[in-house]
């Protein structure tokens, strides 16, 4: 039996603290190729004889992507590797070039909807999971120097920011903050609204 | 007394049920034993030398035993165990998992009191108290047990059906600039980050803003 | 302070530690690991005195010692037959490693001084640990992680 080629082009796609390992398929005519993935954290390298830990959800899978989010759960450097299997035949391990540290995940600005409900300024934020908090900035249009900030730790539909005076526009923008990696996303688009008696008014 | 022969089926599902650190041991009767089964209970502070019998829960027929007093130090962890007796036979001692009052208790919602003016409502929240031995005993608020305790407050405008959420650390909240003559319903929840615990939301307390005198 | 992320004040040593993942990792394996420890009447961390008796001035040193203790003597001896448990232990161990690094910075900047009491306390913990065989001691120590987390 010819040696099974190791998977190639092994890369990580990591956005908003969701991490996926992907690789190119190994093509063997007439055969179903399956793959197994293992990871190794800094702890394993320095304290546990460089041991590797299998990810059972990605053991003998046919897909060429594996969700490794659950296992990349510390802000340290991880090694990752993939092997191909056809029946009892196994390839060499194909390894990710270099380490992966979740601190490099790309953070996107949050989806946000600003609402004026009577004289009350409210914001609706997208639930991005327990790792995320939101820093919401709001100000009276033209008074950018007197910006106010609210940290929203738990997203529960409509969050009250403040009360508004009748007349001026109020503008809002938000960014995510991930404490585990101590990083923030860029800010969302600014949205402005204006208080109007008892009805909601949108001004973008 | 000498040990009897232990061929009685064991009590099942021996576990603590804890609310605001009122820690009560519960279990289910052994299978197929019918009436007449009696129980005795012992407990242990994890890491301490010995099991201690609970006299008030000796030869009892009920299937619970209040161990709040014995497990009131929430800097310790505990085990408890139950043995069943019937017609000269007995079961094995059946233990709980390790019980950590600080992380394993359930938290009641806060009490909510609401007042209103023409255009605002004022909300005062009170965190529940930690269980205490007697009504005269010293009251300890769960705020003292969990310094990171916060409140999530929901305010529902009954007219527009819109609900707003506030997250506050202190226990008072004033919502100004409301519509006169409108009913608002408030409920609140306790949220603790370390350890991660939260209560359910309290029932809703509704109040109407006063009518606009100038209208 | 933000949810789960705590600024720990150990005297002059200020360390921002995200405890959420360590706690949720431990909660996921707590009953399984504690069930593997049959010895109810002995504690590694709490015997004879609870960590809560440690003076605040010694807290940094005890914490630093304990993180090293878990890295050097506990996690590596806790391999189980259950891959889910092993993955969670890896997660906790790697999180411990990044916290240990931060504590080390304090230690190197002499902001984490060790007094007589903390040295004695840590010696007692090692005596408790060495009083059992390695695997039992490691599993018991891992099962007591919430004692450390609650104390912190």
Q: Is the pLDDT of residue A157 over 80?
A: no
Domain boundaries, chain B: 12-102, 111-208
> pLDDT-derived band of residue C60, with 50, 70 and 90 as boundaries?
confident
- Look at residue C5 in the predicted model and tell me its pLDDT: 55
User: A107 with A178: CB under 8 angstroms?
Assistant: yes
Residue of chain B with shortest Cα separation from A123: B164
Q: Is the pLDDT of residue C34 over 70?
A: yes
Q: Single out the residue of B49, B41, A130, B55 nearest to residue C47, CA to CA.
A: B49
The CATH H-level (homologous superfamily) assignment of domain B111-208 is Immunoglobulins (2.60.40.10)
Give the whole-angstrom CA distance, residue B82 versus residue A139: 62
- Look at residue A201 in the predicted model and tell me its pLDDT: 42
Could you tell me the two tokens for B52?
């201690």
Q: Does A158 touch chain B (CB under 8 A)?
A: yes
Interface of C with B (CB under 8 A): 1, 3-4, 6, 19-20, 23-24, 27, 30-31, 34-35, 40-43, 46-47, 50, 52, 143, 146-147, 149-151
Domain boundaries, chain C: 6-151
In this prediction, residues C133-151 reach a mean pLDDT of: 96
- Look at residue C117 in the predicted model and tell me its pLDDT: 84
Residues of B in contact with A157 (CB under 8 A): 163, 165
Residues of C in contact with A103 (CB under 8 A): none
> pLDDT-derived band of residue C2, with 50, 70 and 90 as boundaries?
very low
DSSP code at position A108:
P
Could you tell me the two tokens for A135?
């820093």
Q: Which residue reads 């090692």 in tokens? A: C126
- Look at residue A17 in the predicted model and tell me its pLDDT: 97
Q: Is the pLDDT of residue A16 over 60?
A: yes
Give the whole-angstrom CA distance, residue B128 versus residue B139: 10
- Look at residue A204 in the predicted model and tell me its pLDDT: 39
Instruction: Please give, rounded to a whole number of angstroms, the shortest distance from the CA of C41 to a CA of chain A.
Output: 30
Lowest model confidence (mean pLDDT) among A24-38, B72-86, C94-108: C94-108
User: C30 with B201: CB under 8 angstroms?
Assistant: no
> pLDDT-derived band of residue C7, with 50, 70 and 90 as boundaries?
low
Q: Is the pLDDT of residue C149 over 50?
A: yes
Task: For chain B of 215 residues, list the mean pLDDT of each consecutive stretch of 10.
Answer: 72 98 97 92 94 97 97 96 94 97 97 95 96 91 93 95 93 94 96 92 96 74
Q: Which of A36, A39, A73, A76 to mutate to test the interface with C (most CBs of C within 10 A)?
A: A73
- A163–B177 CB contact, under 8 Å: yes
Query: Between residues C109 and C72, which one has the greater pLDDT?
Result: C72
Residues β-bridged to residue A163: A120
Give the whole-angstrom CA distance, residue B160 versus residue B126: 28
Q: Does A118 touch chain B (CB under 8 A)?
A: yes
Q: CA dist A100 to A15, A40, A49, A181, B138, Å?
A: 13, 10, 19, 13, 53
Interface of A with C (CB under 8 A): 41-44, 46-48, 53-56, 70-71, 73-76, 130, 133, 151, 153-154, 177, 179-180, 182
Q: Does C94 touch chain A (CB under 8 A)?
A: yes
Q: Single out the residue of A102, A54, A93, A96 nearest to residue A79, CA to CA.
A: A96
- A53–C20 CB contact, under 8 Å: no
- C93–A133 CB contact, under 8 Å: no
- C94–A53 CB contact, under 8 Å: no
- Look at residue B207 in the predicted model and tell me its pLDDT: 96
User: Comparing B12-102 with B111-208, is the CATH topology the same?
Assistant: yes
Give the whole-angstrom CA distance, residue B176 versus residue B158: 16
Which option is the CATH number for C6-151: 3.40.50.800, 1.10.940.10, 3.90.226.10, 1.20.1250.10?
1.20.1250.10
Give the whole-angstrom CA distance, residue B184 versus residue B117: 12
Query: What pTM was estimated for this model as a whole?
Result: 0.90
Residue of chain B with shortest Cα separation from C47: B47
Which of B44, B77, B102 lies at the smallest CB-CB distance from C41?
B44
Residue of chain C with shortest Cα separation from B97: C31
DSSP chain C: -BTTEEEEEETTEEEEEE-HHHHHHHHHHHHHHHHT----S--SSSSSS-GGGS-GGGHHHHHHHHHHHIIIIIGGG---S-HHHHHHHHHHHHHHHHHHHHHHHHHHTT-S---HHHHHHHHHHHHHHHTS-HHHHHHHHHHTHHHHHHH-
**CB C81: neighbour CB atoms within 10 A?**
6
Lowest model confidence (mean pLDDT) among A104-118, A184-198, B187-201, C4-18: C4-18
Residues of A in contact with C4 (CB under 8 A): 179
Could you tell me the two tokens for A85?
């299997």
Residues β-bridged to residue C15: C8
Residues of C in contact with B75 (CB under 8 A): 50, 52, 150-151
User: B85 with B10: CB under 8 angstroms?
Assistant: no
Query: What's the CATH code, domain B12-102?
Result: 2.60.40.10
- C50–B148 CB contact, under 8 Å: no
Instruction: Please give, rounded to a whole number of angstroms, the shortest distance from the CA of B204 to a CA of chain A.
Output: 17
Residues of B in contact with A154 (CB under 8 A): 152, 167, 191
Q: Which residue reads 């012992």 in tokens? A: B42
Interface partners of chain A (CB pairs < 8 Å, 3 or more) are: B, C
Task: Tell me the CB-side half-sphere exposure of residue B195, using CA atoms within 13 A.
Answer: 23
Residues of C in contact with B96 (CB under 8 A): none
- Look at residue C112 in the predicted model and tell me its pLDDT: 82
Q: Is the pLDDT of residue C136 over 90?
A: yes
- Interface TM-score (ipTM) > 0.90: no
Which of C5, C83, C97 lies at the smallest CB-CB distance from A43?
C97
- Look at residue B5 in the predicted model and tell me its pLDDT: 66
Residues of B in contact with A118 (CB under 8 A): 177-179
Instruction: Please give, rounded to a whole number of angstroms, the shortest distance from the CA of C69 to a CA of chain A.
Output: 12
Q: What is the pLDDT of residues C12-26, one digit of tens each?
A: 777 777 788 899 999
Q: Single out the residue of A105, A127, A126, A123 nearest to residue A114, CA to CA.
A: A123
Q: CA dist B154 to A150, A172, C84, C116, Å?
A: 17, 22, 38, 51
Instruction: Please give, rounded to a whole number of angstroms, the shortest distance from the CA of C26 to a CA of chain B.
Output: 12
Q: What is the pLDDT of residues A121-152, one digit of tens each?
A: 999 999 999 899 999 999 999 999 999 999 99
Q: Which residue reads 């909300």 in tokens? A: B123
Q: Single out the residue of B145, B111, B144, B147 nearest to residue B128, CA to CA.
A: B111
User: A71 with A102: CB under 8 angstroms?
Assistant: no
Which of A44, A130, A151 lies at the smallest CB-CB distance from C90?
A44
DSSP reduced 3-state for A204: coil
Q: Single out the residue of C5, C14, C104 nearest to residue A182, CA to CA.
A: C5
Interface partners of chain C (CB pairs < 8 Å, 3 or more) are: A, B
Q: Is A30 left (phi over 0), alpha (psi -120 to 50) or beta?
A: left
- C23–B49 CB contact, under 8 Å: no
């Amino acid at each position: 039996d010819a040696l099974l080629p190791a998977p190639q082009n092994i890369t990580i796609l990591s956005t908003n603290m969701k991490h996926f390992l992907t690789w190119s398929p190994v093509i063997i005519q007439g055969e179903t190729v399956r793959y197994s993935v293992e990871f190794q954290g800094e702890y394993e390298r320095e304290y546990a004889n460089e041991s590797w830990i299998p990810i059972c959800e990605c053991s003998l899978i046919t897909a060429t992507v594996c969700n490794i989010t659950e296992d990349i759960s510390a802000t340290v450097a991880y090694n990752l590797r993939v092997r191909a299997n056809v029946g009892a035949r196994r390839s060499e391990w194909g390894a990710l070039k270099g380490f992966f540290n979740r601190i490099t995940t790309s953070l996107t600005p949050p989806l946000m909807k600003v609402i004026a409900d009577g004289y009350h300024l409210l914001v609706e934020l997208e639930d991005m999971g327990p790792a995320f908090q939101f820093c919401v900035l709001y100000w009276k249009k033209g008074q950018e120097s007197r910006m106010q900030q609210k940290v929203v730790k738990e997203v529960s539909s409509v969050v009250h920011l403040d009360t508004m005076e009748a007349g001026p526009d109020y503008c809002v923008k938000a960014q995510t903050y991930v404490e585990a990696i101590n990083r923030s996303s860029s800010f969302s688009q600014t949205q402005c609204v204006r208080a109007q008696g008892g009805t909601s008014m949108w001004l973008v | 007394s000498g040990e009897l022969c232990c061929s009685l089926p064991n009590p099942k599902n021996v576990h603590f049920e804890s609310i605001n650190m009122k820690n009560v041991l519960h279990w289910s009767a052994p299978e197929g034993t019918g009436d007449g089964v009696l129980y005795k209970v012992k407990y242990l502070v994890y890491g301490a030398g010995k099991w201690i019998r609970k006299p008030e829960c000796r030869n009892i027929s009920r299937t619970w035993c209040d161990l709040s007093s014995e497990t009131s130090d929430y800097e310790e962890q505990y085990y408890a165990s139950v043995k069943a007796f019937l017609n000269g036979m007995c079961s094995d001692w059946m233990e709980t998992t390790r019980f950590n009052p600080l992380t394993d208790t359930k938290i009641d919602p806060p009490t909510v009191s609401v007042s209103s003016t023409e255009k605002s409502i004022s909300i005062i929240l009170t965190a529940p108290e930690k269980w205490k031995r007697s009504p005269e005993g010293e009251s300890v608020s769960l705020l003292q047990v969990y310094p990171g305790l916060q409140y999530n407050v929901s305010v529902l405008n009954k007219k527009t059906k819109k609900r707003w959420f506030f997250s506050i650390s202190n226990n008072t909240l004033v919502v100004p600039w409301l519509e006169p003559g409108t009913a608002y319903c408030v409920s609140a929840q306790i949220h603790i980050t370390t350890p991660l615990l939260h209560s359910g939301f309290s029932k809703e307390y509704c109040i109407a803003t006063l009518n606009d005198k100038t209208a | 302070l933000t949810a789960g992320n705590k600024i720990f004040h150990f005297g002059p040593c200020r360390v921002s530690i995200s405890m959420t993942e360590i706690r949720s990792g431990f909660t996921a394996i707590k009953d399984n690991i504690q069930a593997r420890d049959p010895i109810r009447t002995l504690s590694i961390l709490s015997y004879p005195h609870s960590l809560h008796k440690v003076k605040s001035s010694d807290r940094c040193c005890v914490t630093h010692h304990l993180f090293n203790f878990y890295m050097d003597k506990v996690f590596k001896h806790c391999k189980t037959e259950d891959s889910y448990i092993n993955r969670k232990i890896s997660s906790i161990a790697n999180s411990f490693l990044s916290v240990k690094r931060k504590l080390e910075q304090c230690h190197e900047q002499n902001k984490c001084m060790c007094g007589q009491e903390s040295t004695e306390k840590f010696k007692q913990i090692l005596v408790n640990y060495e009083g059992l065989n390695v695997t039992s001691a490691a599993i018991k120590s891992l099962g007591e992680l919430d004692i450390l987390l609650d104390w912190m």
